A and B are shown apart, each in its own frame.
Chain A
Amino acid sequence: MSDQRLLSRVAESLYWIGRYVERADGTARIINAYIHRIAEDPFGDAEQACRALFAILGVTLEDDEPATTDVVLDGLVFSRDSPSAIAGSLRAAYENARRSREVISSEMWVCINRTHDELPVRQIDAQKVGAASYFRFVSDRAAQFSGLSDATISHDEGWHFLVLGRSIERIDMTCRLLDAQLVGLHSSPDWLTLLRAAGAMESYLRESHGSASAESLASFLLLDRLFPRSVFHSLNVADNSLEELTYSHSRVGDTSNARRTIGRARNRLEYSDSHTLVAELPELLDFLEQTCASANDEITTRYFRQVIAEPWATERGV
């Protein structure tokens, strides 16, 4: 790693670009899979499914508000103001990219800038030919951005913040998905929806050799070592980036809190028993969601806000 230190402000922007682009992509996958299912499933309760979407994506919908596909599209897809919606995430990614233009490559900037610019037009198209075209656009651009990040800038400190943000968001996303679908795993078509939403359809089917079950699906999305969207894999990637980011600081015993938090979660998954996984899932998902929240705070404290935050925290603690 080079000696050139990165500004905290810029590091923070890169971390959040990673998170928001991943969030837009994940949200697009999830909503696309659900809307497809709602249209296809003659027995499903569309209202319930739409409510589930709001819960998965962490947006409060009061019980007396109606939940329809249109409400989903307005609130979770096209809203520019909500950081949980696709357009909102991409806008936030764009705002962060503006603050870090000097460190990202011009190709990355053009990708994010164009994507942000085109959203209103894509929204109009979506209203003409169906929202699927919008989701495809978002996922394509997210993939393009991710490819450009990997191929057009040095894999230095800044890049590790991008990757770190992407990984933590991915863990959060997969947990949310499993959380809402947990009980439904037993009625067959719904795990197909879950697989599609996680972008895991083909990989899982090949891996499970036709013995698809709630257990094997949950352990695939949580524990698989090779699937890039599994929680275990993402924890590994995050851990690796944190290691690189910590290493330059000191040579002895300087494991950051964030790295400890991620490492603990990784170990728990590494040694968990896939047979009892489904039974302990609710508790495990809470634990993982907590892990993401803590890691986020610890990364913020350690890398982005250390100077101001620490003395205040100590004093208040006394």
Chain B
Amino acid sequence: MGMGPSHVEIDPKVAWDEVFSAPGKPRPIYRKVVDEIGRYGEGELQNRFDQLGRTFRERGVTFAHDGEERPFPLDLIPRIISAVEWDTLASGIRQRVLALEAFLGDVYQKGVCFDDGVIPRHLITSSQHFCREAVGIVPSNSPRITVSGVDLIRDEEGHFRVLEDNLRIPSGVSYVIENRRAMTQSFGSLFSNQRVHPVDEYPQRLLAALRRSAPEEVRDPTVVVLTPGVHNAAYFEHVLLARLMGVELVEGSDLVTVGNRVQLRTTEGERPVHVIYRRVDDEWLDPVHFRPDSLIGVAGVVNAARANTVTIANALGNGVADDKLIYTFVPDLIRYYRNEEPILKNVESYRLDDPEIFNDVIGRLGQFVVKPVDGSGGKGIVIGPQAEEETLLALRKDVEANPRGYIAQRPVALSTLPTYVDGKLAPRHVDLRPFAINDGRDVWVLPGGLTRVALPEGALVVNSSQGGGSKDTWVLASPETFEDAPAMRTNGYHPRPAANAIMRQVDPRHPSEAEQ
């Protein structure tokens, strides 16, 4: 962590172009797609784009924003990641998730990392998301971070960097699944002659991990997805996951805790629940322990988890590791818990609670991206070089009042991809959120993830709530996986020998019969 940098401008021209290495010269992994798209006439591109939109509207792929259901626009041009690069990314994510898992276990149990001076204890206890109720809840059988969504961006030199960790209830995986579905249906030809890793095993992977995380004595656990309800921004996703896992989607009022056991109310009485994949924030989860006014929570669920009769996934209190000030320590945490060098770098970040750094930065906030440490969804972020004078003045006041509440980062020109906007393809900034599932034995990273794209020209905030769209994200299968695979897979298709095809029956008056 050094002193402030000297970058000021975010020049779109310095952003890494994902597709073209030079004007008109696509990178090898994009060649086939660029050729295919190049063949389409203007009308056809618009046709396909409309078709994608129709598919999404019809299937109800939306997110709720300000009480309104909006479609989450899917762009035509996919984002492609090579097999080799993906291997590195997946290892980096695995390493990071395992280090954070160890860190959270430590924070809520012994706190060895404080004694060893890796991170000051007061940073934890002063974190908005530190959860006293989670202290002493030791999941017997489950990781704390079952599902994570680490946000990555590609910097000007083409290196992926971690922008933030999402270890509470990362959302967006439903768009990954639906995007692929829409693309293969409307754009099948793009996939021909490309070996793209499928994404549809995610729900089964998640279900397997959730089942494994059930309290130990349970043989055939009942898993449920807990949603805040139909008004939640990610309700569509909650439904999709429950549907694809074949489990019950429940609201708080469907559950009741009796004698430290969580029960599901059904038409045939109460049925025990063993694993709750909750999409409700900590503070709303249990009115007994957190907000007493919560109507979407389940009274007593925290005590049930403490008694180990139910597993809450993700665990309580993970938010402390999402704190953006803690984020600045993650490289040290990886070295400390994993004894490895971080594979993925952070974005250069500056801790404003350090007086020396504070004094250096406070007078020139316009040169940085400033983020509240506990924000999510792009809320409260100020992109200094793009900000108005007034915004910066207000920000300065806020930061002076609460230096622990903010970090500053170097403004990074996120990489760009051509994106179909207003009938034309034009570069737009993108990020990447890969999803990882820890089943307690291994961390599996869904090949690809959600590429979000900021649709307004020059915009750097990609969140869906800020006018973002998304792109289907392809991880190409490596030649080696391909070589091994056919023997394994082709037995999925076992045609009868052609001569043995059983003919269809037809009515005796069928025209084709009559002609014979």
- Across the interface, B185 reaches (CB within 8 A) one of A36, A84, A91, A210, namely A36
**What sequence of 0s and 1s flags, for each residue 499-516 of chain B, a beta carbon within 8 Å of any chain A beta carbon?**
111111111111110000
The answer to whether A96 and B495 have CB atoms under 8 Å apart is no
Min Cβ gap A50→B in Å is: 9
- Which secondary structure characterizes the binding site on chain A? helix
Min Cβ gap A295→B in Å is: 10
* Cα(A54)–Cα(B504), bound, Å: 11
The answer to whether A95 and B511 have CB atoms under 8 Å apart is yes
* Cα(A210)–Cα(B508), bound, Å: 45
Residue B490 at the chain A interface, CB threshold 8 Å: yes
Q: Which residues of A contact B499 (CB under 8 A)?
A: 60
The answer to whether B51 and A130 have CB atoms under 8 Å apart is yes
Q: Name the residue of chain B whose CB is nearest to the CB of A35.
A: B188
Interface residues of B in 175-222 (CB under 8 A from A): 180-181, 184-188, 191-192, 194-198, 200-201, 204, 207-208, 211, 220, 222
- Across the interface, A12 reaches (CB within 8 A) one of B51, B207, B506, B507, namely B507
The answer to whether A44 and B498 have CB atoms under 8 Å apart is no
* Cα(A13)–Cα(B194), bound, Å: 46
Residue B265 at the chain A interface, CB threshold 8 Å: no
Residue A55 at the chain B interface, CB threshold 8 Å: yes
Q: Which residues of B contact A12 (CB under 8 A)?
A: 507
Min Cβ gap A196→B in Å is: 10
| With A83-B512, A202-B246: A40-B504 Cβ-Cβ less than 8 Å | no
Q: Which residues of B contact A233 (CB under 8 A)?
A: none
Q: Name the residue of chain A whose CB is nearest to the CB of B246.
A: A205
Residue B231 at the chain A interface, CB threshold 8 Å: no
The answer to whether A204 and B246 have CB atoms under 8 Å apart is yes
Q: Which residues of B contact A52 (CB under 8 A)?
A: 493-495
Residue A293 at the chain B interface, CB threshold 8 Å: yes
Residue B401 at the chain A interface, CB threshold 8 Å: no
* Cα(A184)–Cα(B85), bound, Å: 31
Q: Which residues of A contact B220 (CB under 8 A)?
A: 209, 211
* Cα(A23)–Cα(B51), bound, Å: 27
Interface residues on chain A, size class: 35 or more
Q: Which residues of B contact A190 (CB under 8 A)?
A: 492
Q: Name the residue of chain A whose CB is nearest to the CB of B51.
A: A129
The answer to whether B504 and A187 have CB atoms under 8 Å apart is no
The answer to whether B494 and A210 have CB atoms under 8 Å apart is no
- Across the interface, A40 reaches (CB within 8 A) one of B196, B501, B503, B507, namely B196
Q: Which residues of A contact B55 (CB under 8 A)?
A: 132
Residue A120 at the chain B interface, CB threshold 8 Å: no
The answer to whether B184 and A60 have CB atoms under 8 Å apart is no
Q: Which residues of A contact B493 (CB under 8 A)?
A: 44-45, 48-49, 51-52, 180-181, 184
Residue B106 at the chain A interface, CB threshold 8 Å: no
Q: Which residues of B contact A205 (CB under 8 A)?
A: 243-246
Q: Could you say which of A61-69, A150-158, A250-258 contacts chain B?
A: A61-69
Q: Name the residue of chain B whose CB is nearest to the CB of A184.
A: B492
Min Cβ gap A87→B in Å is: 12
The answer to whether B185 and A182 have CB atoms under 8 Å apart is no
* Cα(A188)–Cα(B489), bound, Å: 10
**What sequence of 0s and 1s flags, for each residue 235-275 of chain A, a beta carbon within 8 Å of any chain B beta carbon?**
00000000000000000000000000000000000000000
* Cα(A90)–Cα(B141), bound, Å: 55
- Across the interface, A45 reaches (CB within 8 A) one of B51, B204, B490, B502, namely B490
Q: Which residues of B contact A95 (CB under 8 A)?
A: 509-511
**What sequence of 0s and 1s flags, for each residue 8-49 of chain B, a beta carbon within 8 Å of any chain A beta carbon?**
000000000000000000000000000000000000100110
Interface residues on chain B, size class: 35 or more
* Cα(A130)–Cα(B507), bound, Å: 31
The answer to whether A130 and B502 have CB atoms under 8 Å apart is no
Q: Which residues of A contact B269 (CB under 8 A)?
A: none
Q: Name the residue of chain B whose CB is nearest to the CB of A17.
A: B507
Residue A82 at the chain B interface, CB threshold 8 Å: yes
Interface residues of B in 472-495 (CB under 8 A from A): 476-477, 481-482, 485-486, 488-495
Residue A207 at the chain B interface, CB threshold 8 Å: yes
Q: Which residues of B contact A187 (CB under 8 A)?
A: 488-489, 491-492
- Across the interface, A43 reaches (CB within 8 A) one of B48, B208, B481, namely B481
The answer to whether B196 and A207 have CB atoms under 8 Å apart is no
Residue B247 at the chain A interface, CB threshold 8 Å: yes
| With A92-B510, A132-B185, A210-B223: A58-B502 Cβ-Cβ less than 8 Å | yes
* Cα(A35)–Cα(B44), bound, Å: 21
Q: Which residues of B contact A13 (CB under 8 A)?
A: 507
Residue A289 at the chain B interface, CB threshold 8 Å: yes
Q: Which residues of B contact A300 (CB under 8 A)?
A: 508
* Cα(A51)–Cα(B494), bound, Å: 9
Q: Which residues of A contact B495 (CB under 8 A)?
A: 48, 51-52, 54-56, 180
Residue B496 at the chain A interface, CB threshold 8 Å: yes
Q: Name the residue of chain A whose CB is nearest to the CB of B476.
A: A42
The answer to whether A192 and B505 have CB atoms under 8 Å apart is no
Q: Which residues of B contact A83 (CB under 8 A)?
A: 504, 506, 510, 512
Q: Name the residue of chain B whose CB is nearest to the CB of A15.
A: B507
Q: Name the residue of chain A whose CB is nearest to the CB of B188.
A: A39
Residue A10 at the chain B interface, CB threshold 8 Å: no
The answer to whether B486 and A130 have CB atoms under 8 Å apart is no
* Cα(A191)–Cα(B44), bound, Å: 34
The answer to whether B512 and A40 have CB atoms under 8 Å apart is no
Residues of B within 8 A of A (CB): 44, 47-48, 51, 55, 180-181, 184-188, 191-192, 194-198, 200-201, 204, 207-208, 211, 220, 222-223, 243-247, 476-477, 481-482, 485-486, 488-496, 498-512
Q: Can you list 9 contacts pairing A with B, beta carbon distance less than 8 Å?
A: A40-B180, A42-B195, A42-B197, A42-B485, A44-B489, A45-B489, A206-B247, A210-B211, A292-B505
Pairs of residues from A and B, 5 with the lowest C-beta to C-beta distance, nearest first: A205-B246, A184-B492, A43-B485, A42-B195, A132-B185
